[in-house]
Amino acid sequence: MTNSTIDNPRVVSRDEWLAARKQLLSKEKELTKLREKLSVERRELPWVKVEKAYAFDTPSGKQTLADLFDGRSQLVVNHFMLGPGWKEGCVGCSFGADHIEGALVHLEHHDVTVVVVSRAPLPDIEAYKKRMGWCFKWVSSCGSDFNHDYHVSFTKDDLAEGQVYYNYEMTEASIEELPGLSVFYKDATGDIFHTYSTYARGAEELLGTYMVLDLTPKGRNENGPNHNLMDWVRRHDEYGNQARE
3-state secondary structure at position 172: coil
| CATH code matching the domain that covers 48-205, chosen among 3.40.30.10, 3.90.580.10, 3.30.420.40, 3.40.50.720 | 3.40.30.10
- Listed in sequence order, the residues at least 6 apart from 91 whose beta carbon sits closer than 8 Å to its beta carbon are 229, 230, 233, 234, 235
Distance CA 55, CA 215 (A): 42
Q: What are phi and psi of 55, to 5 degrees?
A: -125, 140
3-state secondary structure at position 25: helix
Predicted TM-score of the model (pTM): 0.93
What does the angle CA 245 – CA 214 – CA 2 come to, to the nearest 5 degrees? 55
Distance CA 147, CA 178 (A): 10
Q: What is the pLDDT along the chain (245 residues), one digit of tens a residue?
A: 445 578 889 999 999 999 999 999 999 999 999 999 999 999 999 999 999 999 999 999 999 999 999 999 999 999 999 999 999 999 999 999 999 999 999 999 999 999 999 999 999 999 999 999 999 999 999 999 999 999 999 999 999 999 999 999 999 989 999 999 999 999 999 999 999 999 999 999 999 999 999 999 999 999 999 999 999 999 999 998 665 55
Domain boundaries, the chain: 48-205
